[in-house]
Amino acid sequence: MRISIAALLALALAPGARGAVFIHDETLHGDLSDDYLMPALFSPGAGSSTLKGTVVDGDRDLFTLVVAAGLRLDSLRVLSYTTDSENPENLSYMMSQPGALLSSPPSNDFADPIGYVGFGAWAVGRNVLRTITAGPPYDYAATLGPGSYAFWINETGPTSGYEFQFNVTAVPEASALLGILLSAPICFRRRRDC
């Protein structure tokens, strides 16, 4: 039975839908998709999920990250980076656009706005989400809320390995926040009375 990406996204974004923390290692679970019309699909739950893979010139790792209602992506950390390049400054690239799919096939002359980061040894241990979102199409978003986000990882030269950590947190529902805000004056009043 074949399920469309639209149906999977609808299920993942439905109110009350919560994914599970995921660990995807290409050496154990298979290579990520090279087809921008059928990217790998991940819907992480609250917590830390990891993605580990390898890219070489001409290889693309394409996936869609679906952040369910009530969750947000707070950070995207580079856990490790390796390369067989003799140049220790070698960079690989991660790009992203809002939406389930990239707006066009990945290529060197990609025309639409896309957030990106050139990551390498310098990025290990760092949160690169703010770099990816520092401009169009994300317009300086500090976190990514509910929705789908297309990602593209590639290398323009030597074989490089990467490991990313996606940190997702639950966002309090508006009714819970309202209850906290409404109870705050009562707490202050009680303290003054004591």
Query: What single-letter amino acid sits at 66?
Result: V
pLDDT tens for the chain, residues 1 to 194: 344 555 444 444 444 445 678 999 999 999 999 999 999 999 999 999 999 999 998 889 999 999 999 999 999 999 999 998 888 889 999 999 999 999 999 998 898 999 999 999 999 999 999 999 999 999 999 999 999 999 999 998 899 999 999 999 999 875 444 444 444 454 444 555 44
Q: What gap in Å lies between CA 188 and CA 170, rounded to an integer? A: 27
Q: Which two tokens stand for residue 120?
A: 């390498």
Q: What gap in Å lies between CA 121 and CA 161, rounded to an integer? A: 11
Cα dihedral 33, 34, 37, 42 sign: positive
